[in-house]
Amino acid sequence: MTMARARAPEIPQAGEQCLLAGMRCLGQGSRMLSDYHTHTPLCHHAEGAPLEYAQAAKAAGLAEIGLSDHNPMPEAFDDWRMAREDLPRYLQWVEEARQAMGDFPVRLGLECDYLSGHLPWLEQTAQMAPWDYLIGSVHYIDDGVAVDDPKHLSRWRNASDLAWMWERYWQLYAEMIQSRLFDIHAHPDLAKRFGLRPAGDLRRFYEASIEALAATGAALEVSTAGLRKDVREIYPAREMLEMAFAAGVPIVINSDAHRPQDVGADYAQALALVRSVGYRSTLRFEGRRRREVPLPETWPTAATSTP
């Protein structure tokens, strides 16, 4: 085939010929992004029904939306997750969004807190619904100590407490990956949320997680949520992303939206970052099975958020 046209279309539409050499055209949406990390009011700190997230995703030019509210626990645990008895309502909301959105894919996910000692519960949770994917997160590094909780901020200003927090966080993050419970691993360096980091080269903290990802084949999240936090940076740091790319670790770009207007927030910046590191593909999930799709070359800058 000779290249008759100067430029391949950014987003091939259904039935359109894919002109990129060596790239199989997967049909409509194959060169678009998705957003798999979003929350609903069931977790008591987010707004917007699944249908509103889906509509926002479609309007932002995304190929798919996924809901991933904070996982229920067997008994009362904290005040920022769905109650166990609300799970049926969550499933129903997502189903209603699916019905209303026609052929626009609405995926069912869950953001699960990795807590050592809760592994049987997480295994049970994995059987509770026909999940399209499960996201694993480390927020808690000790009883009642979540790294993203401003309540403990003054403590992290102390260098030795901060060093302990980072060590503990990354130890749990690597353990979470090794558990093989999750498809996507969320906001990798959440420990930097408040902009506080130990001194020196931070790659020593990332190594074990990169090794675990390479060994298990699971995906790392590139989250624009950090741009809306004090640190004003994407999770993870560029250095970690470079290590991930070198180790062949797949990535998924997500917003971690807690309101529909943040769906796809700052995707242009995230896409530019991952492409500059070398990434040319991302993953889509359905029924906990994944397929690789090409990344778009650019993304419109319209969908940016304000903190």
Binding site for Zn ion (CB under 5 A): 256
- Report the distance separating Cα 76 and Cα 153, nearest Å: 25
How far is 298 from 275, CA to CA, in rounded Å? Answer: 9
CB of 135 to Fe ion, least distance (A): 7
State the binding partner of 125 from Fe ion, Zn ion, none, CB within 5 to 8 A by kind: none
> What is the nearest approach in angstroms of Fe ion to the Cβ of residue 298?
26
- What CA–CA distance (Å, rounded) separates 229 from 201? 22
Give 30 or 137: the residue with its C-beta nearer to Fe ion. 137
Smaller CB distance to Zn ion: residue 31 or 229? 229
254's contact among Zn ion, Fe ion, none, with CB below 5 to 8 A by partner kind, is none
Burial class of 86 by CB neighbour count within 10 A (0 to 12, 13 to 18, 19+): middle
Nearest CA-CA partner of 295 in 264, 251, 255, 257: 251
Nearest-approach distance from CB 39 to Zn ion, in angstroms: 5
Shortest Å distance, C-beta 85 to Zn ion: 19
* 82 in Cβ contact with 69 (< 8 Å): yes
Which is closer to Zn ion, CB of 20 or CB of 145? 145
Binding residues for Fe ion (CB under 5 A): 111, 137, 256
d(CA 47, CA 40): 6
Least Å distance between CB 77 and Zn ion?
14
Which does residue 189 touch among Zn ion, Fe ion, none (CB within 5 to 8 A, set by kind)?
none
CB of 223 to Zn ion, least distance (A): 7
CA distance 300 to 307: 19
Comparison of 139 and 284: residue with beta carbon closer to Zn ion? 139
Least CB distance to Fe ion at residue 74 (A)? 20
Give yes or no for a contact between 233 and 227, defined as CB atoms under 8 angstroms apart: yes
Select from Fe ion, Zn ion, none the partner in contact with residue 71, using the beta carbon and a kind-dependent cut-off of 5 to 8 Å.
Answer: none
Would you say 31 or 43 has its CB closer to Zn ion? Answer: 43
Choice between 29 and 97, CB closer to Fe ion? 97
Which CB sits closer to Fe ion, 63 or 186? 186
